Structure 1
Amino acid sequence: MGVMSARRLAAHVWARHLRTQAVCAVKCGGGVSGFFPVNTGVRQGCVLAPSLFNACMDWVLGKVVDQSDCGASVGNTKITDLVFADDAVIFAESLEVLVMALEALHEEAKPLGLKVSWLKTKVQVFGDLLDEAVQSVHACGEDIEILESFTYLGSAVHNDGGSHQEVLRRIGIAHGVMDSLSGSIWRCRYLCRRTKIRIFKSLVIPVLLYGCETWTLNSDLKRQIDAFAACPGEAAPSPRRRPCPGLPFALVEQQLLRMARENLKKSELEENSQDSHWRKKQLGSRLLKEKPKDTPPPPPSPVTADDQFLRVAEAVTPLCDVPYFRQLKMKDQKCHKVLRELGKRLQPFDLPRERHATKLPCILEPTRPSVSVPPDPRLGAPRPSPELIAYRNKDEFGVHFGVDGNPKTVGFFVGRPQEKDMVCVPPTYLVNMREAHKDVARSFQTFIRQSPHAACHRFDTGGTWRNLVVRSSVTGQRMACVVLHPQQLGEEGVQGIMEDLRQYFFEGEGAECALDSLYLQACPHTRCTREQAPYRLVAGSEYITEQCLDLAFQISPDSFFQINTKGAEVLYNTIREVAEVSSSTTLLDICCGTGTVSLALAPHVRGTIGLDVTTAAVEDARHNATHNNILNTTFVAGKAEKVLPRLTAELSHCSEVVAVVNPARAGLHPDVIRTIRQCEAIQKLIYVSCKPEGFAMENFVKLGSTRLKSPKARHTVPFMPKYAVPVDLFPHTHHVELGAVERVRLEVQGGGDTMEDFSKLKARKRSLR
């Protein structure tokens, strides 16, 4: 070709000559076949074939351009056609010019033996050049289909000129490649970070950028692509960013951009730290001892109408965009951190304890050895929740200003009260909430906006409407409780509001919520017990019924019940498993609430005794026992530190006593801890806490301490940690229920468990050192 061009032969002349009168030979095994003519088509294996065909196509399209005057102006440049192998694209600014160009192409290709494949030929219209009713174009006696999106070599071209959908599709395909390499590459401990980055660039990035030459990029798409490419800034590309269930796609895009910036910053920090690692070694300990300066994090931006649902999702369900198995891994690390802190706090007390390879004060395991089913090592220690979406059976909504300035917006608070930028955001897209709760909150918002009474944001500024509590059960029953500030309403005003609520939720627009029970509480304080402000039944039944472990539980407006009903079943089975109860066991349920633990374990033990300071909760527990025909349970109302001493003589005759404590987040009062330690009949103690790093940690330490200030508690035997089995009752959040932290009273071989024997055991341990 170069020789022919150098001799000034016209391209179309030698192209046509080589195209129509060429001969070829095949070289194989050192021999050459005879020459044969190439009449039509392009023979594979010919070195000149691609170049010759391109020259032929250029000549044909040049003739087409001359005859039809096709082309599209882009700025000061006119683009007439594009050619890739035997695929050609013709541009035209009108339908008539396009038809002329297609007919010219058909006529010019005939003499060269080329045929246009009308079945594969498509028309794509950009802009408003064609009526939507027109579905095809007629040219050369053929109907050519008009497409909105055309896929070429795996890359989609859309008629809007944008590449938003195509880029997101390529990112999704690249995520699939990353997921396939998750176990063998990203989580492999034997591959260094540099190797993982090379694998990422050689296997994942080409998949991401396939067909990128057809993309029309803007700043947002560039940030998303850069964010994906910044994934290897961590040891393994994490977290996997997939759309959050229940969130609209606009929020997912905002979440992708936010996570992109975070991952990019983190990758830059890690690169800088690796580059300066050798410098730190040479500079010695002077740099290592230098304290880093604490820089306060930048204040969050005010909540806007565009990001309000994303902000409330970040506050209520911060892990909704993290795959569930990674959530369990994070909570497993949290439990390890809590137990390590407990081990440090117990170390000064010189308690004899077993040594574990994990250096934890007790065994943290997903399943006890007595269970035949092996644990899944990918899930970590926490036992997973059976339900991940819409698992909450109780939600409490506040009333405040919304992003639109409406003071009667029902939802959750987002922002900082001290900065006066706190707003109330509806729970429209929260994944952990049931749709029935959202419907009730939406109807209540409509009701109070129609009401002449104002919202109560602060007690000193007046107002009536405060918050709304919605409960539901797995049987489908629903209960709502409206909390208001009585202000100057009086009894007549409260009765009028009750009648308005009844008409709206049972006869008016709110009847679609299908409430089974509606209550009202006129509470002048931040929170009121039923003794301070009784719950008034507006309409419906007095309670709803919840099903758990084939038992029916009566739920009142203030009854305590685990937020996750199916997760509670896992928790109660875990307690029974860890406690190793038998037909001779007496279960002592401290802080029993509505008696869920007592009634769940009653068929497996000799008998249960439930203690709770709330009289109403004890009444519900007794009703639940009677309703389920359980006869080996007893429930006592009163403070545990006063009731337990009266039961000591009774419990001393029991062969085995196991105590279960499930307090609120504030933990147990020190007097209750002292009373539990003084009760020598308790042999096992299972402490259930939804916030083990908080006040429960102080309870753990006092249970195992040998240096208590109280003279009575000082001469008691401490409890030592033995097992810890976390249960995840709160998917998509950072909370985890350290579902069964088992504490076993110390026993001395050949003797009892008195303080004197315990002192001898400590002295023997010191002598062995």
Structure 2
Amino acid sequence: MLLKNEIVKIEIVDITDEGNGVGKVDGFTIFVPGTAVGDKLRVRLVKLQKHFGYGIIEEMLEPSPDRIEMDCSVYRQCGGCSLRHISYQAELAIKQNWVTQHLRRIGGITAPVLPIIGSPQQDRYRNKTQCPIRDDGQGVCLGMFGKRSHRVIQCTDCKLNPPHFKLILQTVQDFCKEQHISTYNEEKHDGLLRHVYIRDAQATDETMVCLVINGDEIPHSDLLIKQLIANCPSVKSIVLNINKAKTNVILGKTCKTLWGKDHITDILCGVKIELSPLSFYQVNREGAEQLYHIAADFAELTGNELLLDLYCGAGTIGLSMAHKVHELIGVEIIPAAIENAKQNAINNGITNTRFICDDAKGAAAMLKQQGLTPNVVILDPPRKGCEPEVLQTVADMNPQRIVMVSCNSATLARDLAVLQTLGYQTIKAQPVDMFPRTTHVEAIIMMTKCGSEGEK
């Protein structure tokens, strides 16, 4: 029987989709964070359950060949990266296995899983960051939440962010210290500044700074504006987001422009995209272009189709395919995102589109009542996946093909299993790494109606 605080020798044989190494002692599974497949370790057991336990590294006996030198001083404390200690090729192999195993074990999917496509950039690829700002008892602290906690780890230069984000974050942090701006306290629900949220349009070199506040205005905002535009010339928009709710949700529903434009404009797959603070947009622009090209290939568009894009956000994925279809209908629940999508279509001269503000379930049901029968449906749901009613309604529309884009292969596998009971078969899966050094991975799935001409 193993005991808490006992030290055991183990070899890491696998990595979970939470980033923990897996080892065994006499058949008993031990999860160890910060490890790599092939590590041989002495591990201290810190938590024991009936069938598994957790340990921490006590001594490295023999490191894995996958290990690389650490290049981040806060990696062990920060909750942003989980795979920064292994080579990128090893990371891709792990993510390929995650997607394959989820599809097989959860969904019973036997379709081919194509070799994973890596990100063009492994560092500095993010076009968005949301940094909590708090008083840690010794002053203003700005950075990332620690792993499994709401303790802020001071870090203004995350290696996943572009270098100029550091200038913005340091400017805001210095401003708060100099002007005695209060920061949010989650337990007491007081203090003003909650998060610093930055968006970047990499194709146009436009940056938006959004300050999430527990109030209506920031004192001395004119001074902050001057400092931001002086320190970072790419800043074209400075916005307040009002969030007075006692919640862990980062953004509130109301935005107020302090200076500049209320949006920034990026270019993705040749389409100009207007982005407001509330718009969904892929955080890895170059990776997203790869992702959307594959999705278009899977859709097998000929120019005659009605394409339904559920969970369309600012319309990015649908608009990138609009020139290949007869008509595009996009659906999104966030009003600001739908307005962005409509404006994006106008700005690009795309006239064969219609965008509906509703949840996917309600809009799909409405379109079904109107007798619309899309030839292809694009599903790009949040991490929780699709509601069963949405999957049923989509199947009832009888599209020839369904292309699903997912950042959670576990819920993806669950949804595919449901669609397979509704008359669709999975043809192929393509993992795409959009989030290097983290435990997230994207996957694109092609499904066809059983017995249809598109069946492979």
Change (3 A) 1:603 1:310: same
1:333 and 2:333 matched: no
1:683 pairs with 2:448: no
What is the Cα deviation at residue 649 of structure 1?
6.6
Tell me the residue number matched to 1:4. Answer: none
Q: Is the 8 A contact 1:561 1:594 kept in 2?
A: yes
Deviations 1:562-582 (A, max 9, x none): 010111110110001111111
Tell me, in whole angstroms, the C-alpha distance in 2 between the residues paired with 1:266 and 1:581.
Answer: 55
Judging changes above 3 Å, is the alpha-carbon distance between structure 1 residues 415 and 572 closer, same or farther for their aligned structure 2 residues? closer
Q: Which residue of 2 aligns with 1:701?
A: 417
Matched, 1:601 2:321: yes
Q: Which residue pairs with 1:733 in the alignment?
A: 438
Unaligned runs of at least 5 residues, structure 2: 1-10, 14-33, 44-48, 59-71
Instruction: Report the AA paired with residue 316 of structure 1.
Output: G
- Residue number in structure 2 paired with 1:361: 110
Q: 2:17 maps to which residue?
A: none
Residues 658, 511 of structure 1: alpha-carbon distance in 2 compared, 3 angstrom cutoff:
same
Measure how far apart 1:447 and its partner are: 1.2
Between Structure 1 and Structure 2, the one with more strand by share is: 2
Q: Once the two structures are superposed, what CA deviation does each residue of 1:416-449 show, in whole Å capped at 9, x if it has no partner?
A: 54xx9x3422142x32111121221111111111
Give 3-state SS (helix, strand or coil) of 1:400's partner.
strand
Corresponding letter in the other structure for 2:103: L
CA contact (8 A) 2:428 2:446 kept: yes
Distance 2:276 2:213 in 1: 18
Question: What is the aligned partner in structure 2 of residue 263 from structure 1?
Answer: 39
Pick the aligned partner of 1:674 from 392, 412, 419: 392
Q: Does 1:479 align with 2:244?
A: no
How is 1:649-668 mapped onto 2 (pairs within 5 angstroms)? 657-668=375-386
> d(CA) in 2 for partners of 1:607 and 1:509?
43
1:437–1:334 Cα change, 3 Å: same
The amino acid of 1:688's aligned partner reads V
Structure 1 match to 2:141: 409
| Contact 1:546-1:552 at 8 Å conserved across structures | yes
Matched residue SS, 2:129: strand
For 2:77 and 2:348, locate their aligned partners in 1 and report how far apart those are by CA, in whole Å. 40
Q: Which residues of structure 1 form unaligned runs of 5+?
A: 1-232, 236-257, 268-290, 301-306, 345-359, 366-380, 487-493, 706-716, 754-769
Cα distance, 1:408–1:603 mapped onto 2, change above 3 Å? same
Q: 1:677 to 1:425 in 2, by over 3 A?
A: same
2:133–2:142 CA contact under 8 A, matched in 1: yes
Shift in Å at residue 546 of structure 1? 0.6
How far apart are residue 462 of structure 1 and its match? 2.1
Number of equivalenced pairs:
404
AA paired with 1:511? A
**Map of 1:317 onto structure 2:** 81
Q: 2:54 aligns with which of 283, 291, 296?
A: 296
How far apart, in 2, do the equivalents of 1:620 and 1:510 lie?
Answer: 25
Shift of 1:522: 2.4
Distance 1:632 1:385 in 2: 32
Which of 171, 196, 215 in structure 2 is aligned with 1:468? 196
Is the 8 Å Cα contact of residues 272 and 348 (structure 2) preserved in structure 1?
yes
- SS of the aligned residue for 2:375 comes to strand
Quote the Cα distance in structure 2 between the aligned partners of 1:552 and 1:748. Answer: 35
CA contact (8 A) 1:401 1:424 kept: no
> Which structure shows the higher helix fraction?
1
Q: Residue 601 and residue 454 in structure 1: after superposition, are their counterparts in 2 closer, same or farther (change >3 A)? A: same
Partner of 1:719: 424
Are the counterparts in 2 of residues 312 and 412 from structure 1 also a CA contact under 8 Å? Answer: no
In 2, the alpha carbon distance for the partners of 1:342 and 1:423 equals: 35
Deviations 1:401-423 (A, max 9, x none): 55xx4342110011554xx9x34
Answer whether contact 2:107 2:414 (CA < 8 A) is retained: no
| 1:513 maps onto 2:232 in alignment | yes
For residues 193-250 of structure 1, the C-alpha deviation after alignment (integer angstroms, 9 at most, x for no partner) is xxxxxxxxxxxxxxxxxxxxxxxxxxxxxxxxxxxxxxxx889xxxxxxxxxxxxxxx
Cα offset, 1:643, TM superposition: 2.7
User: Where do 1:146-185 residues align within 5 Å?
Assistant: none
Change (3 A) 1:452 1:640: same
Q: 1:298 to 1:604 in 2, by over 3 A?
A: same
- Sort the Cα spacing of 1:413 and 1:537 in 2 relative to 1 into closer, same or farther, 3 A: same
Are the structure 2 counterparts of residues 324 and 296 from structure 1 closer, same or farther at C-alpha, using a change threshold of 3 Å? closer
| Paired residue type of 1:703 | L
CA distance in 2, matches of 1:658, 1:266: 53
CA separation in 1, counterparts of 2:170 and 2:395?
Answer: 49
Note closer, same or farther for the CA distance 1:461–1:646 as it changes in structure 2 (3 Å cut). closer
Q: Partner amino acid for 1:445?
A: Q
Residue deviations 1:325-372, cap 9 Å, x none?
22211111111111111344xxxxxxxxxxxxxxx521111xxxxxxx
Correspondence 1:745 to 2:449:
yes
Paired residues of 1:399 and 1:424 also in contact (CA < 8 A)? no
Give the deviation of 1:318 after TM superposition: 2.4
AA in 1 matched with 2:267:
Q
CA distance in 2, matches of 1:748, 1:548: 32
* TM-score under structure 2 length normalisation: 0.80
For normalisation by structure 1, the TM-score amounts to 0.49
Give the corresponding residue for 1:60: none
Corresponding residue for residue 271 of structure 2: 551
Max Rg structure? 1
Distance 1:415 1:342, change over 3 A: closer
Corresponding letter in the other structure for 2:159: V
Residues in 2 aligned to 1:640 and 1:332: alpha-carbon distance in whole angstroms: 29
Deviation per residue, 1:261-310 (Å, 9 max, x gap): x934179xxxxxxxxxxxxxxxxxxxxxxx9963332599xxxxxx9523
**Residue 437 of structure 1 contacts residue 471 of structure 1 at CA under 8 Å; is this kept in 2?**
no
CA offset at residue 647 of structure 1?
A: 2.6
Describe the SS at the equivalent of 1:398. Answer: strand
Looking at structure 1, the residues matched to 153 and 86 of structure 2 have their Cα atoms a distance apart, in angstroms, of 25
Q: Structure 2 CA distance, aligned partners of 1:609 and 1:343?
A: 29
Residue 295 of structure 1 aligns to a residue whose secondary structure is: strand
Equivalent of 1:692 in 392, 409, 425: 409
Checking the alignment, whether the CA contact within 8 Å between 2:132 and 2:152 is kept in structure 1 is no
Which amino acid is 1:698 matched to?
A: R
1:688: Cα distance to partner?
Answer: 0.9
Whole-angstrom CA distance in 2 between matches of 1:640 and 1:669: 9
Contact 1:579 1:658 in 2 (8 A): yes
Deviation at 1:630, TM superposition (A): 0.9
Once the two structures are superposed, the pairs formed by residues 395-544 of structure 1 within 5 Å of their partners are 395-402=129-136, 405-415=137-147, 417=149, 422-428=151-157, 430-460=158-188, 462-474=190-202, 475-486=204-215, 494-495=216-217, 497=218, 500-506=220-226, 508=227, 511-514=230-233, 515-525=235-245, 526=247, 533-544=253-264
CA RMSD of aligned residues (A): 3.1
Deviation at residue 319 of structure 1 after TM alignment: 2.3
Q: Secondary structure of 2:290's match? A: helix
| Residue pair 1:668, 1:699 contacting (<8 A) in 2 also | yes
Q: Distance in 1 between matches of 2:189 and 2:390?
A: 40
Query: Is 1:587–2:307 an aligned residue pair?
Result: yes
Contact 2:77/2:147, CA 8 A, preserved across alignment: no
2:122 counterpart of 1:388 = yes
Cα distance in 2, alignment partners of residues 513 and 650 from structure 1: 50
CA contact (8 A) 2:311 2:330 kept: yes
**Deviation (angstroms), 1:666:** 1.9
Aligned-residue offset at 1:672: 1.5
The equivalences for 1:123-134 within 5 A come to none
Q: Which amino acid aligns with 2:184?
A: C
2: CA distance between counterparts of 1:294 and 1:529? 34
